[in-house]
Amino acid sequence: MTFEEPSLSPSGDDHDGSAFPTAAVPWVATRGLAAPAGRRTVSISGDGGVAPYAMEVTAAFARDNDVAHGPPNNAQFGKIAMERRPGRFRFRSADPSFRCFAAATRLCGGVGATATGAALGDPQAAAFAAMGPALLEILCDAELA
C-alpha cells in the first residue's frame, strides 16, 4: 500500500476509547476538498483506543465515517500490561467476548476483518477496500510481538 502526501496526522491519547473520534478529525476536515477526494482515512491505535468505549465504533457507523481503523489486540490492554509486567503488578485481562473488535464491527453492519502479523495481506486489503467504516483487528501476543 502506498501513502501519498499531503497527509493530516492528528494525535490522540488512545487509551480512553478515542481512536475513532481522533480518526474522524481528518475525515471531517477533508470533506468537500478536491485534493483528498477518494482517499481513505486510515487510523492505527493501541487496543485500549477501541475496547473501553465500543460505542465509538457504532457512532462511526451511524455517521458513515469512511475510516479504516487497525488496532492490535492482545486481550490484555497491551500498553497497560507492558507497564505493569516489570513490577509484577496485576493487570486486567479482558473477557474474550468483549474483545473481538472485528466481530463487534460486523455486528454494527460494517467490514470487520481479523489478521495476524504473519497473514496480514488479504484481511488488510478487504478492510481498506470497503466503503464506510472498517476495522482490521490485528491479533498479537501479550508481548505485542
Question: Do 46 and 71 form a contact (C-beta atoms < 8 A)?
Answer: yes
Is residue 16 in some structural domain? no
Is residue 15 in some structural domain? no
Angle CA(141)–CA(144)–CA(135) in degrees, nearest 5? Answer: 85
Q: Kindly report, residue by residue over 39-78, the tens digit of the pLDDT.
A: 677 777 766 656 555 667 777 777 777 788 777 776 665 5
Is residue 145 in some structural domain? no
Q: List Cβ neighbours of 129 (8 Å cut-off, separation of 6 or more).
A: none
pLDDT of 7 > 50? The answer is yes
The two most distant CA atoms of the chain are separated, in Å, by 53
User: What is the structure's pLDDT at 38?
Assistant: 60
Total domain count, the chain: 1
Structural domain span for residue 124: 39-139
The CATH number of the domain where 77 resides is what? 3.40.50.970
User: What is the structure's pLDDT at 37?
Assistant: 59
Is residue 125 in some structural domain? yes
Is residue 4 in some structural domain? no
Q: Kindly report, residue by residue over 73-113, the tens digit of the pLDDT.
A: 766 655 666 666 676 666 555 444 446 788 888 887 888 88
Q: What is the pTM of this model?
A: 0.68
